[in-house]
């Protein structure tokens, strides 16, 4: 639950400052209108600022793979805000699609939904932004109502893969389970130390869950509570935040805790890989083993040789402990309409369990059956 005034104030000011709104801007956030990103950055934020906003239902498909670039060209879109998953889809479709459209109206790019790997960030900057458009890599949640950690264009230097610094007024920190701030570049738990206008006020019908999950997971110190985001992060020596993904997206291999995001980033750094999603399955020897779902660049063909090459690439990037036990090649992954990969469905597939829980936000249900038939490499 949010409050009208706090939510609207926060979406208004974050849209105005983060997207550097100008009088003649045409703002396009590609999220689903029914998702929080659509609420905040298709409707509330842009319209409260009097900004022209584009709303489009659909996604690039094989029948019209260049539809996003057609819209930018046709309507003179100046601000383009999309998800890393979508960007990796654009990479797979090929540079020729945006390069045959006029994207010169663009002046600012944004990403939302999940951490973006540096390779996708650079492609976005060079191919879509023409080496001239700043990128605002934003971190926030349904619960926060609006963007919490982000660069301000022209004011904060960016680093590919980092959401940079907290929005003005947001006091973020990285702490251990006792609530103590950790050292620079030490991964731990992302928290917010002070209230903000767009914050959730409770969970409808379940106030105890609200207290337990968000305010008591990290115990209060001196009666000072912190908001626990459920994400892991690290802060570098310059105070930049690097989001490491959900803390429950952790795989325990032989006693070593690995974040799914770091394994996925290692895989995507290989030139053959466009998308990667990593889950775990039980292993009698290791405790858990890593299963990776891989979507390849169009010029690559799945093979046992490539599978071995990718596994060795992860070893080189992270270490032998992170070597995937299985690699499954697939053309598509189960995503919400806002572009987030639904990893819990992938985990159900690799463990042979029935799909359970809410799947109403799944973009394409036929993906699940296709994934059950994916090629498996266990070598």
pLDDT of residue 378: 41
Rg (CA), the chain: 21
Three-class DSSP category at 265: helix
- Residue 305 phi/psi, 5-degree rounding, is -65, -45
Please give the order of strands across the beta sheet that includes 79-82.
52-54, 26-29, 79-82, 108-111, 135-137
Per-residue pLDDT of the chain (379 residues; tens, 9 = 90+): 999 999 999 999 999 999 999 999 999 999 888 888 999 999 999 999 999 999 998 777 778 889 999 999 999 999 999 988 788 889 888 899 999 999 999 999 999 987 788 888 999 999 999 999 999 999 999 899 999 999 999 899 999 989 999 999 999 999 999 999 999 999 899 999 999 999 999 999 999 989 988 999 899 988 899 999 888 899 999 999 998 877 767 776 765 667 787 898 899 999 999 989 998 888 776 778 899 999 998 889 999 999 999 999 999 998 888 899 999 998 888 877 666 778 888 888 887 777 666 666 676 767 777 777 654 444 3
pLDDT of residue 265: 87
**Phi/psi class of residue 76: alpha, beta or left (left: φ > 0; alpha: ψ in -120 to 50)?**
left
CA distance 349 to 37: 28
CA 220 to chain centre: 29
Cβ neighbours of residue 180 closer than 8 Å, sequence gap 6 or more: none
Query: What is the fold, at CATH topology level, of the domain defined by 4-137?
Result: Rossmann fold (3.40.50)
CATH class of 249-377: alpha beta
Query: Where do the structural domains in the chain lie, given as residue ranges?
Result: 4-137, 172-245, 249-377
What DSSP designation does 167 have? P
pLDDT of residue 170: 97
Sign of CA dihedral 197, 199, 203, 207: negative
Residue 158: both structure tokens together: 């960016």
Beta bridge partners of 175: 181, 189
Query: Quick check: pTM over 0.85?
Result: no
Q: Which CATH superfamily groups domain 172-245? A: Luciferase; Domain 3 (2.30.38.10)
pLDDT of residue 357: 64
Q: Which burial class, exposed, middle or buried, applies to 141 when counting CB atoms under 10 A from its CB (0-12, 13-18, 19+)?
A: middle
**Phi/psi class of residue 216: alpha, beta or left (left: φ > 0; alpha: ψ in -120 to 50)?**
alpha
User: Which pairs from 245-254 meet CB under 8 Å and 24+ separation?
Assistant: 245/114, 245/115, 247/189, 249/343, 251/278, 251/279, 251/280, 251/288, 251/290, 252/280, 252/287, 252/288, 253/286, 253/287, 253/288, 253/289, 253/290, 253/321, 253/322, 254/285, 254/286, 254/287, 254/321
What DSSP designation does 27 have? E
pLDDT of residue 256: 65
CA distance 14 to 87: 23
């Amino acid at each position: 639950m949010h409050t009208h005034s706090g939510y609207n104030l926060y979406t208004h000011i974050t849209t105005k400052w983060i997207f550097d709104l100008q009088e003649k801007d045409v703002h396009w956030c590609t999220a689903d209108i029914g998702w929080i990103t659509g609420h905040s950055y298709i409707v509330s934020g842009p319209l409260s600022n009097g900004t022209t906003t584009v709303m489009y239902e659909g996604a690039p498909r094989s029948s019209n793979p260049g539809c996003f670039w057609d819209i930018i060209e046709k309507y003179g879109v100046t601000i383009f805000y999309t998800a890393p998953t979508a960007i990796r889809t654009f990479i797979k479709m090929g540079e020729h699609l945006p390069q045959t459209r006029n994207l010169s109206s663009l002046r600012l790019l944004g990403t939302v939904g999940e951490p973006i790997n540096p390779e996708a960030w650079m492609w976005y900057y060079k191919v879509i932004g023409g080496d001239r458009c700043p990128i605002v890599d934003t971190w926030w949640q349904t619960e926060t109502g609006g963007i919490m950690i982000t660069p301000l264009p022209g004011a904060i230097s960016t680093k590919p893969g980092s959401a940079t610094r907290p929005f003005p007024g947001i006091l973020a920190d990285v702490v251990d389970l006792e609530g103590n701030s950790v050292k620079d570049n030490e991964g731990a738990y992302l928290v917010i130390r002070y209230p903000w206008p767009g914050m959730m006020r409770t969970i409808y019908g379940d106030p105890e869950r609200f207290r337990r999950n968000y305010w008591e997971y990290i115990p209060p110190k001196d009666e000072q509570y912190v908001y626990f985001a459920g994400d892991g992060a690290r802060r570098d020596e310059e105070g930049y935040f690097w989001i490491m993904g959900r803390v429950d997206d952790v795989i325990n291999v032989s006693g070593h805790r690995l974040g799914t995001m770091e394994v996925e980033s290692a895989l995507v750094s290989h030139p053959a890989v466009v998308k990667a999603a990593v889950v775990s399955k039980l292993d009698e020897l290791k405790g858990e083993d890593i299963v990776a779902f891989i979507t390849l660049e169009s010029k690559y063909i799945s093979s046992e040789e490539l599978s071995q090459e990718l596994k060795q690439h992860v070893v080189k990037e992270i270490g032998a402990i992170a070597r995937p036990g299985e690699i499954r090649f697939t053309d598509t992954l189960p995503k919400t309409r806002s572009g987030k990969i639904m990893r819990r469905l992938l985990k159900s597939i690799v463990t042979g369990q029935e799909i359970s829980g809410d799947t109403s936000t799944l973009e394409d249900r036929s993906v699940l059956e296709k994934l059950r038939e994916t090629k498996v490499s266990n070598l």
